[in-house]
Amino acid sequence: MRLTFLGGVQTVTGSCYLLDTKGGRVLIDCGMFQGHLEERNWRPLSFDPKEIDAILLTHAHIDHSGFIPRLVKLGFSGRIIATKATLDLCQIMLMDSAHLQEMEAQHLTKKNLRKGKAPVEPLYTMADAAQAFPLFHPVKYGEEVNVVPGVKATFVDAGHILGSSIVKVQIQEEQELLKLVFSGDLGRYHSLILKNPTPIDNAHVLLVESTYGNRLHKSLEASEEELIEIIKQAYREKGKVLIPSFAVGRTQEVLYILNKAYNEGRIPHISVYLDSPLAIAATEIFQHHPECFDKETLDLMKTDPYPFSFPGLKMVRSAEESRVLNSIEEGVIIAGSGMCTGGRIKHHLKHSLWKSNTHIIFVGFQAKGTLGRRLVDGASKVKIYGEEIEVRAQIHTLGGFSAHADQEELLYWLNQFEKPPLITFVVHGEEENSLIFSQKIQNTLGWKTHLPALGESVDLSPQAIGPFHPPKLEVPIPKDLGEEFQELEGILGHLQDKVEKWRQHPYQPTLRERMARLIRLLKRVEKELEEK
């Protein structure tokens, strides 16, 4: 048994872990590297995709799923196992990613041809992405699935985005049973819409994310209130509000807040434009998966069946409809991309950044080098589509919106384990964040931790990580013991009644002696049961 870290270590992108067992080869996640690590997507693979039997997918975000079409292109034909909600989101997100790959390749090919260079091939195409869909194998939360001989997996709710999962893997080899837990991306406690991350009681080997392992988040409630106040201020100023937002998760949270505020009369009757075909499709998928929602959202849906819609919300699908929005003076526009690196939000920024009554609300993380980060950092001028734009708009950053647990919430999740794992691998975080969180786990919980390096492969045998033993088999109770159970329950009930009568009746001289004798007898029985 071996585990190889192919991505998502000392970085937050490219999550991919290869599990080798006697029964087969399994990937847990298959994500794209993004940002300054993007070139890694083009490197030769250290394994043959044709030899991979299955992919266990924690959730649909591209840094966890986006390399799947490339793997299919290179010959992968195994099962892709995930929740139905995750696979529904993957259908739209992988096609969108493939479209972007094709567009980028076309752009680079034009530049190369002018220089007499060879055309550029996309990492994968929309046809490659479509070939992945027949491989999808949906499972329900809590359902155990046979992955390869000797390997079983169970998906439980991670509370990160719709359908996101913590994956519990059991490997049976000869007389040994190894339990691995892959946290995936863990969501926040008491967040909007989704349930809390599922507690895990035990594992021999744990992989835990550390995206925000070095910090605490601001209050979500405070950020909700600030969002509403900014919209009201823009309404008074007869200005426009632009919200760069991620299509999956963050957009639905913003719509949920606006719907609730509208129903409570806390915001004026204004037009809200959802200007993102991907976000529109994702919102429709959300509506079809109430099994992922928390109790508060389900209670709301009893009186408001569409918590992501409200009067004044307009879906903007075509590019032509989007261009019309450049001429409007008031309203709220929600568009991607969340970091302003592309998409329709760039057009809206170009037409509105120079106006002092425009409000830009950032509700997500802005990575270094992005247009969003430059605006958050206070740039007075930015270049958009080759044109320098003066920044007169009011820039707001709401720090309470995050789909990732912070340090305190991660520790709370870990603290619910009944006993420490034999080894905890700290993954999915920038190197400094992972290191800080690893040390925090050691100092707070006393656990053994390790920060794996890219490409590192570890032996999961008992000789390498310590002895582990299979749990005792639970033998079902024979049906013919029913009478004995009834008799035992009757005796215990009679004793309880006797104690209550003693408590209520006037004191008798012999009561203390009778109680002492009964206590001695019961203690003897209790001791015998413990010894058995």
Average pLDDT over residues 149-159: 98
**Per-residue pLDDT at 479:** 52
pTM over 0.85: no
Over 50: is that where the pLDDT of 532 sits? no
Per-position b or e across 164-191, b if 16+ CB within 10 A of its CB: bbbbbbbbbeeebebbbbbbbbbbbeeb
State the pLDDT at residue 485. 72
Span 375-389, average pLDDT: 93
Cis peptide before 402 (omega within 30 of 0): no
- Listed in sequence order, the DSSP H helices in 415-481 are 431-445, 462-465
pLDDT (average), residues 112-116 = 90
What is the bridge-based pairing of β-strands 79-83 and 136-139?
Answer: parallel
- Of the two residues 520 and 205, the one the predictor is more confident about is 205
Cα distances from 102 to residues 36, 118, 131, 346, in angstroms, run 20, 16, 16, 20
* pLDDT at residue 305, rounded to an integer: 92
Lowest-pLDDT choice from 65-69, 324-328, 505-509: 505-509
Q: What is the pLDDT of residue 465?
A: 81
Residue 470: per-residue pLDDT:
42
Percent of all residues in the chain with a pLDDT value above 70, rounded to a whole number: 95
The answer to whether 1 and 180 are in contact (CB under 8 A) is no
Confidence of residue 507 (pLDDT cuts 50, 70, 90): low
Distances in whole angstroms, Cα of residue 230 to Cα of each of 334, 394, 398: 14, 10, 11
Question: Averaged over 10-31, what is the pLDDT?
Answer: 96
pLDDT at 196: 96
Split at pLDDT 50, 70, 90, the class of 482 is low
Q: What is the mean pLDDT of residues 79-105?
A: 96
Contact 436, 214 (CB under 8 A): yes
Lowest mean pLDDT among 296-305, 346-355, 458-467: 458-467
Residue 329 confidence (pLDDT) above 60: yes
Q: How far from chain centre, in Å, is Cα 135?
A: 22
Collapsing DSSP to helix, strand or coil, 421 comes out as: coil
pLDDT in tens, 185-237: 999 998 899 999 999 999 999 999 999 999 998 888 999 999 999 999 999 99
Q: Per-residue pLDDT for 18 more than 80?
A: yes
Q: Taking the domain 220-397, which CATH number applies? A: 3.40.50.10890
**pLDDT-based confidence at residue 386 (cuts at 50, 70, 90):** confident
Provide mean pLDDT across the span 481-495. Answer: 76
Q: Which pLDDT value is given to residue 36?
A: 76
Alpha carbons 524 and 137: distance in angstroms, whole number = 55
CB 440 within 8 A of CB 425: no
pLDDT in tens, 235-294: 999 999 999 998 999 999 999 999 999 999 999 989 999 999 999 999 999 999 999 999
Computed over every residue of the chain, the mean pLDDT equals 91
Q: Is the pLDDT of residue 303 over 50?
A: yes
Task: Tell me the average pLDDT across 159-166.
Answer: 98
Q: How many CB atoms lie within 10 A of CB 284?
A: 13
Closest to 338 measured CA to CA, from 359, 321, 361:
361
- Quick one: pLDDT at residue 523? 78
- The third-level CATH classification (topology) of the domain covering 2-215+403-465 is Metallo-beta-lactamase; Chain A (3.60.15)
